[in-house]
């Protein structure tokens, strides 16, 4: 059994698409994979959330949402606004551990970033990862500001003794600018190693077979893919642009 926690440098960086890509590759290998969303915020009951996107893209049906709050806020603030108790991360860790006993892989997708609060006691996704003794995959933006956000998140992980599973760019633009191309040079220095992947922006609009091919091209061998960080960096230099097709042409 294996548990992998997926977080990001913030909201909207592509965590759900990366989680779906990880799930799609695990499914393509014949593995039993489950995806857990500890807390979904910003949606009313019955509305399709992040797990619905995972189901659509990865054709995975073993999905588990542990709490839902309608406010588009942090899980702690959303629970308070709704007048409901916050998610108990101890219970969440037990739930994930039980799932993992009967699965090859359990993916846990957080809300927002690593230190977004789940409860008034200061509980965060970092604490859940510690309880699970699980490595953390960090999803980042491609452009301006990502170097600082990446460095801060990695520093917070190191202080808590969390293992880094890799860093993935959640949405690489079709026509990257100077900041994006320059970041490919600087990110490995901040990470202390190569990128573990980069998924093309807009890839959430494809069918599951196409998405699995994109996932394979966009994630490193550690996750069952074929992404080569050095080759990717060479394709996008500060002196020119190359359109990213995720290896499909």
- pLDDT tens digit sequence for 122-165: 999 999 999 999 999 999 999 999 999 999 999 999 999 999 99
**What per-residue confidence (pLDDT) applies to 224?**
96
The β-bridge relationship of strands 164-172 and 136-140 is parallel
26 occurs within a structural domain: yes
| Apex 107 CA angle, 102 and 110, nearest 5 | 140
Specify the number of domains making up the chain: 1
244 occurs within a structural domain: no
| Apex 181 CA angle, 176 and 186, nearest 5 | 150
245 occurs within a structural domain: no
37 is catalytic: yes
Q: Does pLDDT of 241 surpass 80?
A: no
**What mean pLDDT is predicted for residues 37-51?**
95
Of 51, 39, 35, residue with least CA distance to 99: 35
Q: Does pLDDT of 237 surpass 70?
A: no
**What mean pLDDT is predicted for residues 178-206?**
95
Q: pTM of the prediction? A: 0.93
Do 231 and 201 contact (CB within 8 A), yes or no?
no
Pick the catalytic residue: 27, 37, 68, 103? 37
Confidence of residue 236 (pLDDT cuts 50, 70, 90): confident
Owning domain of residue 23: 3-235
**What per-residue confidence (pLDDT) applies to 166?**
98
**What per-residue confidence (pLDDT) applies to 245?**
53
For residue 22, the surrounding DSSP H or E stretch is helix 15-28
Q: Does pLDDT of 69 surpass 90?
A: yes
120 occurs within a structural domain: yes
Strand residues in the chain grouped as ranges (E): 3-8, 33-37, 40-41, 63-65, 68-69, 105-113, 136-140, 164-172, 197-200
Do 168 and 136 contact (CB within 8 A), yes or no?
no
243 occurs within a structural domain: no
Do 183 and 151 contact (CB within 8 A), yes or no?
no
240 occurs within a structural domain: no
What gap in Å lies between CA 6 and CA 128, rounded to an integer?
11
Do 138 and 167 contact (CB within 8 A), yes or no?
yes
Q: Does pLDDT of 73 surpass 90?
A: yes
**What mean pLDDT is predicted for residues 21-35?**
97
**What per-residue confidence (pLDDT) applies to 204?**
87
For residue 59, the surrounding DSSP H or E stretch is none
Q: Does pLDDT of 243 surpass 70?
A: no
The CA-based diameter of the chain, rounded to the nearest angstrom, is 54
90 occurs within a structural domain: yes
Q: Does pLDDT of 249 surpass 50?
A: no
**What per-residue confidence (pLDDT) applies to 244?**
54
CATH code for the domain of 164:
3.40.50.300
Between 229 and 246, where is the model more confident?
Answer: 229
Confidence of residue 205 (pLDDT cuts 50, 70, 90): confident
157 occurs within a structural domain: yes
How many residues comprise the chain? 249
**What per-residue confidence (pLDDT) applies to 248?**
43
**What per-residue confidence (pLDDT) applies to 101?**
96
């Amino acid at each position: 059994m294996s548990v992998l926690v997926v977080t990001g440098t913030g909201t909207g960086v592509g965590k759900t698409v990366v989680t779906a890509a990880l799930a799609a590759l695990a499914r393509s290998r014949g593995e039993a994979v489950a995806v857990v969303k500890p807390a979904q915020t910003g949606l009313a009951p019955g509305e399709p959330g992040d797990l619905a996107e995972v189901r659509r893209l990865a054709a995975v049906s073993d999905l588990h949402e542990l709490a839902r709050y309608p406010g588009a806020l942090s899980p702690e603030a959303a629970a308070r606004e709704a007048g409901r108790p916050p998610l108990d991360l101890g219970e969440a860790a037990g739930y994930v551990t039980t799932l993992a006993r009967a699965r090859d892989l359990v993916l846990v997708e957080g809300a927002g970033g690593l230190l977004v609060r789940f409860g008034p006691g200061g509980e965060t996704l970092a604490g859940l990862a510690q309880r699970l003794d699980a490595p953390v995959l960090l999803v980042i933006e491609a452009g301006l500001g990502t170097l600082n956000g990446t460095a801060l998140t990695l520093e917070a992980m190191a202080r808590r003794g969390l293992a880094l599973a890799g860093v993935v760019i959640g949405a690489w633009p079709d026509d990257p600018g100077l900041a994006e191309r320059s970041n490919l040079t600087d990110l490995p220095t901040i990470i202390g190693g190569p990128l573990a992947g980069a998924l093309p922006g807009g890839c959430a609009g494809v069918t599951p077979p196409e998405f699995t091919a994109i996932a394979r091209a966009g994630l490193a061998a550690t996750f069952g893919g074929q992404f080569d960080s050095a080759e990717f960096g060479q394709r996008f230099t500060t002196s020119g642009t190359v359109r990213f097709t995720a290896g499909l042409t």
